[in-house]
Amino acid sequence: MLNCNCIFCKIIGGEIPSAKVYEDDLMLVFKDIEPKAKVHLLAVPKTHFALLSQADAEGKEMLWHILEKIPGVASQNGCGNGYRLVINQGEDAGQTVHHLHVHILGGETLGW
């Protein structure tokens, strides 16, 4: 069930536009609006939960599916030479959107 106050649920539902690069029944990948690298994509599950610790069986299935799809999506979007995955979890990590998302960063040599 989509959470109507969540910006990523609104993107999944098509209420807010996004630059989509991949979509299937379980997940969506779109370009980050404030890229921190030459290529900066966000991969999101189509169910709403904020933290890995909150994933139910459906969420876990989606997460595993996302991890299986990322290599192909990354290489097709300019990250064939490598990329970094980041999942911010909670306040100390600076998580600002409370819908679980995997940052895919690449397209250049990354520093810290």
Cβ 45 to Zn ion, closest distance in Å?
9
Cα–Cα distance, 46 to 110 (Å, whole number): 29
Which residues contribute to the site for ligand AMP (CB under 6 A)?
7, 16, 18, 32-34, 42, 88, 94-97
Helix (H, G, I), strand (E, B) or coil at 39: strand
CA distances for 26 relative to 18, 29, 34, 105, angstroms: 17, 11, 24, 21
**101 catalytically annotated:** yes
Closest approach, Cβ 59 to Zn ion, in A, equals 11
Indicate which of ligand AMP, Zn ion, none lies near residue 46 (CB less than 5 to 8 Å, by partner kind).
none
